[in-house]
Amino acid sequence: MYAINLRYTGALAEIDDALDAHRLFLERYFAAGTFVIAGPKVPRDGGIILASGIERERLDQIIAENPFARQKLAHYEITEFKATRLAPDLNLPEPSSET
């Protein structure tokens, strides 16, 4: 599992201009089961995405597709971790054979 920490490097006006395309990007990878949680940080200086069931090399390729990355509007810090504890009533994604 990966925690992806985005830090905006562009102006918020530029972020807002790319937001619809960014949301389509997120929808694509939520539908594929790769992204499991995403949202903006508070204060709004970036965002967080949790990804699961994917190899790091493929994740890097996916992140490069993000409109924020293509337009150089965000810096990405990716941390891999093993989810071993979870609050009751939540389900961990099934690990893929790739991880």
What is the Cα–Cα distance from 1 to 54, expressed in whole angstroms?
8
- Asked whether residue 68 is domain-assigned, the answer is yes
Residue 67: the pLDDT is 97
Walk along the chain (99 residues) and give the pLDDT tens digit of each residue. Answer: 999 999 999 999 999 999 999 999 999 999 999 999 999 999 999 999 999 999 999 999 999 999 999 999 999 999 999 988 878 877 655 544 433
- Asked whether residue 63 is domain-assigned, the answer is yes
- Asked whether residue 72 is domain-assigned, the answer is yes
- Asked whether residue 87 is domain-assigned, the answer is no
Q: Domain of residue 59: give its range.
A: 10-80
Residue 1: the pLDDT is 95
Residue 84: the pLDDT is 85
What is the Cα–Cα distance from 44 to 93, expressed in whole angstroms?
28
76, 63 Cβ separation under 8 angstroms: yes
Q: Identify residue 37 by its one-letter amino acid code.
A: I
Domain count, the chain: 1
What is the Cα–Cα distance from 30 to 12, expressed in whole angstroms?
24
Report phi then psi at 70, rounded to 5. -60, -35
- Asked whether residue 14 is domain-assigned, the answer is yes
In 3D, which of 5, 98, 9, 14 has the Cα closest to residue 54?
Answer: 98
